[in-house]
Structures are given as C-alpha cells and as structure tokens.
Structure 1
C-alpha cells in the first residue's frame, strides 16, 4: 500500500515508485488525516510523473525542506531551539508548497506569533502572562523560517527567498548584580546552590556547563577547567582559568558523597547532579536578599560586567566567555568608561584653572 503508519509517529507515511525507475521514495505526509495524506500522496505522485515525462521542475513542500534542513544541521547546539520554532511553524506551513510562501504569508505568520500571549513555565505547568511575546521572539521564529527558505535556494529548490523586514527590537538593559548584592544572595542560598552560584560568578560559565561539569574536566593543580566543544554553545572548546575562590569552591565538593552512577559529577545534592537551579530555594533566597528581576543567567552577565568594569579587554573577555562573535561581547562595552576619561578630565579642570588665573 502506498500509504502506511509507523508505530513511532501518528502521521501517515507514503511510499512511491518514480516513473521510469530510480530509488523508492519514502517520507512523512505531515498529517494524521488519511484523506489529507492521500491528497498529499496523489499530488506528489503527479509531480513525479510530470518530472519524468514532461521535464517539469520538482515541487517541494515546507515539510520536505524542514526534514532536509534538520538533517543537514544535526549536531549544532542551536538545533533544538530551531526545532521548537519549527514545531510552532508547522501549524501554518505544513503541506504548503515552498513557492507559495511569499512575503504576505510570512508577514501574517509574524503577526500571529506577535499576538500570542507570553507563556512561562511554573511548577504547576505553563502559565499565560498578560502581555504578548516580544519582537525579539518574533524575529527568532521568522529567522528560522527564512533560514529554511534560504537553504532551499542553496539546494535549488527555490529560485529566491522572500525579502521581509525585521521587527524593531528595543535593547533591554543588562541585569547584573553589584558585589554587595551578590554577597547577600550567596549568604541566603542553600549551600549547594551558593557554591554553584559563586562558581558561576567566578568563571562566567553557563548553567548547563556548571551543572554538567565533570571531574575529568578539572585540573586543580594547574588551576584550570575546560568545556568540550560538544558542551559549548558555540561548539568551540573553552579554557576556564580558575581563581582562588573558584578553586576553593571545587575543593569543597571533593568530600561529598556521590551515587555510583554520578561519581564523576562535580556539583551534587544528596548524591545526584543538580540540573534545576531556579527552584523555590533560589526564588526565596532572592526575596530574602531583597533582589528583584534576577535570573540564573544573570550571574554570567554579572561576571562579564565585573570584568569590563575592572578593565579586562573586550577581546580577552570574548575568549574567556566562549562567545562566537564580538557583537555578543559588545553588550558590555558601555560599562567601561576608561577610554573616555582623558576627554572628560580637561573639561572639569579648565574652568577651575581659569577662575584661579582671573583672581
């Protein structure tokens, strides 16, 4: 039978024999509706006949492009985020011919996304907030859509991709803690979270790199740790020099008991790795410390902000933080004003000198 089901998916799959021979074609129709699946199958079969007998150019659907796009990008750190956006886009583009995805359709999809309420995850499940998603979220979703279309142009499945405007995004301030705030927070956190937070403030590592840190990635004698390429967001190895405070934090983890299957994990709680850091304990500690609007990732922002304020060159900070582009690091550049001081000082001294000369 040309249509069939698989135990691993609720969708219908097709099997087609191209006219004139060639490899058998298998694939998902992208739908659970048998009538729609049959329509998809018949249209694809007619397209194959047109290609073989009339020399027509193949017609591809959004589903075809997504499957190849994901296959070409297996192993990329950003792929899981892209998959989240692609699953949302499926409701708007499943079964649609690539040639039918024009600017007006993309604009309509962007508007639909913009009107969605923002959702946050709570202990009781997803919760809708009273405001819509941000322009940045819309840009990221449309960006994935256009990335698929641009890839289709490279594959010669499309002649050109539609040109669209990006939604204007207002840059938000970077949330970072003052040393006094950080000290208050560490004092209020339970011991295991306080150690992880202090290590984050000392190294600037992302949460996943802290929670997933293994003893095989640490050399206390050389005072260095490292993040492997497959663990880094930019897929490049990161060397992490360890300060005295960071080394002290790691030494405190040595005597902790670990379950046999987690013996290599650095940060544990009751013998098991800590994967969730933004817990009720984190939120209560923030409240007791009098700190508002602070996420765990803001510890990384704090580390970078402190570095810039202490005079660390931006290029050095880029390497320490494992950022892929300078653009990501430039967000912190405004926190350093040393290069402007020479221009301010004469302006503040000149009036005083002129006043004394006049006397």
Structure 2
C-alpha cells in the first residue's frame, strides 16, 4: 500500500487536500477514495502551481472565482439580478476552468433550465451575464504576470424559442375588477402607476423631495433621478436609461398624491411606516388570479402590465409618438428638468386623456378613507 504523503486527509470515503503549496493554501476534495489516485491528483496540482510560479504559466481559475471577482468589483443598477443569474449557473459550471466554458459545455445548463419550464428570455439573460464575465476575463482582467485570465472570450449564442410571455394591457372592466381586489396600499400604487407609466421601483421609491412645484400651472410634477443615489435606508439605483424622468400627473394621479400626503415624511407610498420593496407581492398575485386575469404563462402577470396599459391608452387617444416616448420614459437624450411650462402643460394634457374610458366614462378619483392604511 502506498504511503500517504502530507497534505492528504481522508474524510469519510474520500481523500481531501489541505496543503500550502507555493504560498497558496489548497483545500479541496480529490474526488476519490483511492490513495494512489489522490496522490496523483495532488502531484498534478503541485506541478501546475510550479509552472505558474517558475514559468509564468496561466493558473487554473474556476468560473466561481471569475463570478466572485465580477460581483465584488462591479457596481451597477441590476447587480442583484446578475447575482441571481450566476447562482443558477453555479451548480453546472461553478468548478469548471473558465477556459473550458463555451456553448458545448453550457448545453447541459440550457437543457436543464428549459426542462424546468424557464423561458428562453430568462436563460438568455443568465447567459448574457456569463458573456460579460468572459469578456472581462479576456480583455480587462490580468494576473500577476500581466496575462489575461483567458485568451479570447468564446461566442455565446443566446437562445430564442419565441416562447416569451406577452404583455397584458388591462381594459377598463379588468382594471376595475382587479384593483378592487388589491389591498389599499397596493391599489393606490397601481392606480398611480397606470396613470403615469412609472416603473415599479420608481413608484416604490417615490420620495416627496422628488416633487417639483410648477407655480405657473398651479400643479406639481415629480422627477425621478437617473443616476444612483445612496440614501439612509438603501440605494436608489437610478432609472434604467440613466436619465432623469419627469412624472406628470393627471387628475387621477393628483388625487392619489393628495390622499398620500402626511402618511410618511419621506416616501409617497409607505406601508407600516416604511418603504415598500415591490408591488409584485403575494397579494398582487392572488388578486390577479381572483380577478380572472390570464395565468397560463402566455401573458405577463406583473405590474409592468400597467405601464403597457398606460402606453396603449395614450396611443388610443391619439397622443403623438414623441410625446408618448417622454411619458413612457424611453431614452431620448432630453434633459427633463429643462422642460418649459408650456411643454409640461402639453404632457399634462396628454395624460389627462387616459382618465376616460372608451365609453367616455371618467374614472373615479381616489379618496383615501381616514385612519391608518391597511
């Protein structure tokens, strides 16, 4: 029987390495219970590290190391979502040498996600984060010998099976039925969102110090910051397109704002004294299903449908494409804080047109009952 060399420890039925080699501590499983095979594995690791130390060879780096470096060094609005995507990739390629990551080695991941019923758009989003990491490894990241982590980033083809869920703009009857089933605090947020087109996080984060008075029009607007701002209770990541966004108010949105005043010193839409993290909650999902709205996977079920509803009503009212782009907060290059009073009035006139249904029936203006919000 072969003599056990230092650095190998048997745990259960498997040999593990716990050894300092060339100043680097190695702690990992050999994947075998056979001592001779474990020693060969350890000898290979020692030789690889010697090649790096003596000859400047590129060390083996796993996808997990690359993903960790990316998350630690990146600051972006959607970093939490990127971390979630990487978590899905981890079981499949976490221990893999990043030089071995390519479409061939990713097929098992793609097939497993597809078998779980995941849409191709979601898988593409996950692979896009991986593609970014591989690009950085090839073009930006350098080791101590000034060598890139990988020579070239492989081409990753993002799947598109044309299986994406479609947006579901609400008609007036569906809106009335659905909103009536929402808790009061979510109903206020939904009513504001469907009348302004503001994104979900814009509504959740909406602050009173973002309100701007327009004296010549005897009204106010809100301007959501395009750039990242750190507040005491968290970080506002900024708008998706990094531009300040103007939020003009029609009569319904104004009634919502009037009902919210005095509930919280900072946030427009608080719940139990704090900022609400998101609108797409269990209460939203239950109300959506109870209202008889589609849940078969063909259509989106989230709050973004209210933005689509707002956009469709603007178009149906004959609002111009240029004005719709401003109201829907699409990237335009304009500086929203430089709008004149006349331009703001034009935007207000446009959003007033979504207060009336196809039958010419004006929406009921929200009036909050007195007392603590539910």
TM bucket normalised to smaller: 0.5 to 0.7
Q: Secondary structure at 1:223's aligned position in 2?
A: strand
Q: In the alignment, is residue 201 of structure 1 matched against residue 203 of structure 2?
A: no
Answering whether residue 224 of structure 2 is matched by residue 227 of structure 1, we say yes
Match of 2:269 among 260, 267, 270: 267
Instruction: Report if the CA contact (8 A) 2:194-2:309 is conserved.
Output: yes
Q: 1:309 to 1:34 in 2, by over 3 A?
A: same
Aligned to 1:50: 51
- The normalised TM-score by structure 1 is 0.66
1:304 to 299, 304, 311: 311
Q: CA deviation at 1:199?
A: 0.6
Q: Say which structure, 1 or 2, has more relative contact order (CA 8 Å, 6+ apart).
A: 2
Q: Secondary structure at the match of 1:209?
A: helix
SS at match of 2:153: coil
**Which runs of no fewer than 5 residues in structure 1 stay unpaired?**
3-11, 19-24, 118-131, 327-359
* Cα gap change, 1:133 to 1:16, in 2 (>3 Å): same
Secondary structure, aligned partner of 2:252: helix
How big is the shift at 1:176?
A: 0.2
Write the distance in 1 (CA, Å) between the matches of 2:21 and 2:330: 46
Counterpart position of 1:357? none
Task: Report which stretch shifted further, 238-247 or 179-188.
Answer: 179-188
1:354 corresponds to which residue?
Answer: none
CA distance in 2, matches of 1:267, 1:13: 54
**Which of 177, 196, 216 matches 2:170?**
177
Which residue of 2 is the match for residue 320 of structure 1?
327
Contact 1:135 1:167 in 2 (8 A): yes
Q: Structure 1 residues 290 and 52, CA, compared in 2 at 3 Å: closer, same or farther?
A: closer
For the residues of structure 1 that align with 2:273 and 2:196, how far apart are their CA atoms? 24
Q: CA deviation at 1:141?
A: 2.0
Deviations 1:244-280 (A, max 9, x none): 3212211111143x4xxxx312113454444454456
Give 1:79 shift. 1.4
Question: 1 or 2, which has the higher helix percentage?
Answer: 1
Which consecutive unaligned segments of at least 5 residues does structure 2 have?
A: 1-6, 8-16, 32-37, 141-147, 229-235, 296-300, 334-374
CA apart distance, 1:134: 1.5
Distance 1:153 1:247, change over 3 A: same
User: What is the TM-score of this pair, normalised by structure 2?
Assistant: 0.64
Count of residues in Structure 1 that have an aligned counterpart in Structure 2: 285
CA RMSD of aligned residues (A): 3.7
- Which runs of structure 2 are paired with 1:134-213 in the superposition (5 Å)? 134-155=119-140, 156-170=148-162, 171-213=164-206
SS, match of residue 226 in structure 1: strand
Measure how far apart 1:56 and its partner are.
2.5
